Each structure stands twice: as C-alpha cells, then as structure tokens.
C-alpha cells in the first residue's frame, strides 16, 4: 500500500532522514520506533505532505505522492493523528469530529461513521457538546483519533498516541488502535516512543536511529532481539544497536 524508497529530508542544511526506505502492506499495523529526535515524526509529516523530501519517492497504492499537497493526500485516503493531539479547543467534540469529514462526498455515511466513533470512544458521545479544550489528555487523544476516522482513511498515521497519558489510558488507546485495524481493516502506521506497547500492537516494525532504519522485522522477532531489548525494552544495552532482523515467512 505504502512504499518509501530512499527518502532524504532536510531542515535547512541539517539532515533529518537519510535514505530511509520502508513499506506498509494493506491491512497491517506497522510501528516505527526510536528515541526522541530519531526522525519518526518527520517521516509521518513527509508522508502526509507537510514536509517535502529532498530526494527519494513515496508511493501510495502505486501512485507517487512525493510532491503532492497535503490536501490531495488526505483525499487519497491518508489521515494523520498529529503528535500532541491537535484538537481545536474552542470547538465542541462533535464540531471537531465533523471537521474530519471535510474531504468526503458520501454524506449519507456520516451518521453511521459518527456512531462508530462513539462506539469506540463512548466518552466522546457523553461529551459531544463539550469544548475540546476542556477534555482530559486521554479524551483529547480519543477525539484526535476519532476525527481522523471520520475522514474514512485507508491508511491511518498515528504520531505518539501515548504521549503524556497515564498508563491505564495508554492501554485503552492501544486496545482501540488494534480494534480499529481488526474491525475495519484500516491500515495503520504507528510512530511511538513506547516501544513495548508499539511492538505489542504491531505486526511488523522498523527501528529508526538518527534518520536511518537500523533494524526491521516482525514485532515478535524485534521483541526477542537483544539489541532492541537493551536499547528500547529495558534490558542490557548493546553498544551498537544496528543490523537487520530477518522476518519470518
């Protein structure tokens, strides 16, 4: 569904991504993990059209979207939940949700999709007339995900969904992420510093360090890898966490 081939991105003269390549197959949950500043959020911004690649190509369902505007990318079926949630604080919950539908033409399905969002996040229905800025952090994350789902995406990009949330809320958010994938078949690319939660949710994962992919494989193989355990899962750290983990057939 999505292929990034040899993508490089710069902020001025500073390289943020250095020849990054990855793929996401239809129906998968793929995680991109790494330390703060590794280039995870830049990767999602580049896919979304918010940042232009210096070189390389991005293809979505066979179409090159490397130079496409963000609006056109959303219309193709890619929706991003930004880091920090990005809800509109002076709009109500339902107004925030309806903003996610601005690119859609199938108005007959709005009510059904809205009810599906409420079923996944019952607290949003309870607070549908409450202003977004008055919600708790966890509720705002639910709202940000719900707003993206209202765009009826084929590919959902999630940027640090656990950031700043209590552990019990993080578990609820990740349970819902897996449910979205399982029940609707929505393909998900997940960027997350909480490697343990990300690997538990994903089918496959990539490890990003200073703008480069240094490890890739199934989530199970990465969880068992001593380099990943040491660097990201709290085990004894290897001094040079680089290499490739082969995926199972």
Q: Pick the closest to residue 152 from 90, 86, 74, 227 (CA basis).
A: 74
For 28-43, the pLDDT digits (tens) are 999 999 988 899 999 9
For residue 29, the number of C-alpha atoms closer than 13 Å in the C-beta half-sphere is 25
What percentage of residues in the chain have a pLDDT greater than 70? 93
Burial grade of 167 (CB within 10 A; 0-12, 13-18, 19 or more):
exposed
Q: Is residue 232 pLDDT above 90, yes or no?
A: no
Least confident among 19-28, 52-61, 83-92, 141-150? 83-92
Mean per-residue pLDDT, 44-59: 96
- As given in the structure block, the two tokens for residue 231 are 């660097």
CA-based angle 161:40:74, to the nearest 5?
70
Mean per-residue pLDDT, 100-113: 82
Least confident among 12-21, 57-66, 96-105, 169-178? 96-105
pLDDT confidence tier of residue 176, bands split at 50, 70 and 90: very high
pLDDT at 68: 94
More confident residue, 246 or 69: 69
pLDDT at 235: 54
Write the DSSP string, 35-75: -TTSSHHHHHHHHHTSS--SEEEEEETTEE-TT--HHHHHH
The reported pTM is 0.88
Q: Is residue 192 pLDDT above 80, yes or no?
A: yes
Sign, CA torsion 130/131/135/141: positive
């Amino acid at each position: 569904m999505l292929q990034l081939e040899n993508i490089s991105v710069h902020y001025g003269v500073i390289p943020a991504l250095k020849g990054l390549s990855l793929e996401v197959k239809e129906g998968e949950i793929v995680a991109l993990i790494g330390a703060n500043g590794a280039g995870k959020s830049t990767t999602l911004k580049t896919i979304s059209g918010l940042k232009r690649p210096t070189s390389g190509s991005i293809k979505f369902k066979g179409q090159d979207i490397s130079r496409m505007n963000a609006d056109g990318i959303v219309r193709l079926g890619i929706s991003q939940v930004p880091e920090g949630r990005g809800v509109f604080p002076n709009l109500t919950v339902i107004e925030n949700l309806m903003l996610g539908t601005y690119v859609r033409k199938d108005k007959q399905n709005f009510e059904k999709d809205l009810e599906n969002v409420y079923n996944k996040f019952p607290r949003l229905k309870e607070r549908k007339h409450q202003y977004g800025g008055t919600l708790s952090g966890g509720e705002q994350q639910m709202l940000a995900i719900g707003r993206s789902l209202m765009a009826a995406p084929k590919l959902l990009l999630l940027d640090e969904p656990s950031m700043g949330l209590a552990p019990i809320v993080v578990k609820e958010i990740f349970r819902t992420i897996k449910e979205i994938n399982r029940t609707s078949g929505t393909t998900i690319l997940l960027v997350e510093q909480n490697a343990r939660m990300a690997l538990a949710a994903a089918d496959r994962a990539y490890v990003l360090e200073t703008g480069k992919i240094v490890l890739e494989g199934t989530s199970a193989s990465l969880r068992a890898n001593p380099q990943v355990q040491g660097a990201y899962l709290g085990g004894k750290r290897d001094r040079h966490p680089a290499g490739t983990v082969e995926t199972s057939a």
